[in-house]
Structure 1
C-alpha cells in the first residue's frame, strides 16, 4: 500500500533526512586513507544518538551495524570492518535514522585520494543519473519514468551495468514502503506518482556487468566481475511541478571539498535541481 504523507509529515521526514545528511557530512570531514569503516560506523552511531535519534539499520532483519560501508566492488550492504581504507578506494556510506517516528535513509559515495579517470567518470555519471531520476518524480508521472531516466543515462548512454536485484523504495514510518523504484524500466510503466509520496531514489551502477552476487554473510552484495560499483541515494517528496529533495548533498559536498584527502575532481558542474 502506498502511503501519502501530509505536509506536516513531510516536514518531519525532512528532519530525519537532514539528520542523515548531517551525519554523512561528519564523515566527509574526516574520511581518509588509514581509517577503518568500523571507525566510521562508530562515528555515525554516536552522532545519530547524540541527536536523539536511532540508527535504523542496526538490527534491521539481523543487520549487525549502524551503517553499510561498501568499498570498490561492493555494491551495497557492506559490513564495516577493521581493514584500513586505501588511496584510490571508493566508499559508499549508506545509513538510516528514525527521528520522531519517521525514517531518513540515503547514501553518498566518496573517493579517497587519486583514482583512475574511469572511476571518476563512474562516480560522476551515477550521481548525475540520480538527479535525472529525481527530475521525473513529479505528480502525474509514473515510477517507470524515474527508472527509465536513470537507465537511459547510465546504461544506454554510458555503457554501465544497472543492478536489477536491488531497487529504491517508498519511505515513511517504515524504512521500506511501496512502491519499489527500480533503476531500470520503461517510460509510462509502474505506479502513478501522487503528490506527497516520499521515495528513496538510489541508483546502484556498476562499471562492468550488471550481474551481482551475495556473500555467505547474507548481506554483502558484490559485482560479479569484480569491477567497481557506485551508489547514491536521496530522499525525495513527489510534488506537482518539481520534486522536493528532503536530504541535502550540498552540505556533504562542502565538507568533501574542504577535506584534502578526498577527490572531488569529478565535479563537472552543479548537479542540483
Structure 2
C-alpha cells in the first residue's frame, strides 16, 4: 500500500523557507569552520550555534539516537558521518548535512567541498558534477510529470562524468517530519512513480562516488562508506512545488543562481 504524501499550503511552505534559510546559514558556518587542522566536531559546533541562535531546533540531533547537529563525512565516508576528533587535512573531501525545525516545519540541506588544495582533478570533478547533478534534478522537477524524471536527470549527469549514484540511499519528502514519502531516487528505475503535484516538498540529494556504487555501514551504525574506499560527494536541497512553479527552500535566492544554467527561474512563494 502506497504511503500518503503530505501536501503543503503556500503559507506552510513559507515557514519551511524560514527553516531552510537557517540551514543555509548553518552550512555556511560549518564550511567556514572546516579548515586544515580543525576537527569534524568544530564543524558541528559551528552549525549548532547558528541553529540555536536563530531560535530553531536541530532535526538531526537525537534523530534515532544520532548524537550531533550535523553529519560530517570525509573522503570515503559518503553520508551520516558522526562528528568527532578527526582532524581535517589539505585535500580532504568534506560533506556537511544538517537541518532545522521552525514552528514544526523542517528544512534539510547538504554541501560538499575540498579543504585547501585538491589532491586531484578528479576530486574537483566529483564535487562539481555532484553539485551539477543536484541542480539538474531540481531543474527537471520544475517541468516533471512524475518523480522518476528527477532521478533520470541526476543519473544523466553522473553517467557523463563517469560517477556512480550510491545504491540504496535516496531523497525524500519533507514537511512536518524530516523524512516523509515519497522517495526521490538518484537513478532510473522501472515502475510507476508518484505524480509531481503542487503542495509537494521534496529533499533531492544525489550521493555520487568515484568508484563502486556499493557501500557498507561502519561499527558506529551510522557512517556510510564506499565499499572500495573511493571518495564520494553529497549535495542536497529542499524544494517546494506550488501552483506557479518551484522554490528552493534551503537557498535564500530560491535557487535562482543554481537553476540559471538550466534555463529555469524559481517562482516566489
Q: Which of 129, 141, 146 pairs up with 1:142?
A: 146
Q: 1:125 matched to which residue of 2?
A: 129
Is residue 63 of structure 1 aligned with residue 50 of structure 2?
Answer: no
- 1:91 match: secondary structure: strand
TM-score, length basis structure 1: 0.88
What stretches of structure 1 of length at least 5 have no aligned partner? 252-266
The corresponding residue for 2:267 is none
Name which of 91, 94, 98 aligns with 1:91: 94
- Of 192, 195, 206, the residue aligned with 1:192 is 195
Q: Deviations over 1:99-139 (max 9, x none)?
A: 11111111011211111100001111110010110012136
The structure-2 alpha-carbon separation of the partners of 1:164 and 1:108, relative to structure 1 and needing over 3 Å to count, comes to same
The answer for the alignment partner of 2:170 in structure 1 is: 167
Please tell me whether the aligned partners of residues 10 and 237 of structure 1 are also in contact (alpha carbons under 8 angstroms).
yes
The one-character-per-residue Cα deviations of 1:24-73 (angstroms, maximum 9, x if unpaired) are 12223332101111011112112211111111111100111111000001
What is the aligned partner in structure 2 of residue 203 from structure 1? 206
CA distance in structure 2 between the partners assigned to 1:195 and 1:173 by the alignment: 17
Q: What is the aligned residue count?
A: 257
Any unmatched runs of 5+ in structure 2? 265-269
CA distance in 2, matches of 1:161, 1:170: 23
In 2: Cα distance, 1:46 partner to 1:90 partner: 23
Q: Which runs of 4+ in 1 moved over 3 A?
A: 186-189, 239-242, 269-273
Distance 1:83 1:250, change over 3 A: farther
In structure 1, distance between residues paired with 2:51 and 2:45? 10
Structure 2 counterpart SS, 1:157: helix
Q: Could you tell me how far 1:249 is from its partner in structure 2? A: 7.4
Seen in structure 2, the aligned counterparts of structure 1 residues 128 and 139 have a Cα distance that, compared at 3 Å, is closer
1:19-34 alignment runs, 5 A limit: 19-34=22-37
| Distance change (3 Å), C-alpha of 1:157 and 1:181 | same
Deviations 1:60-107 (A, max 9, x none): 001111110000010100010112100000110000111111111110
1:213 to 195, 216, 220: 216
* Number of the residue aligned with 1:255: none
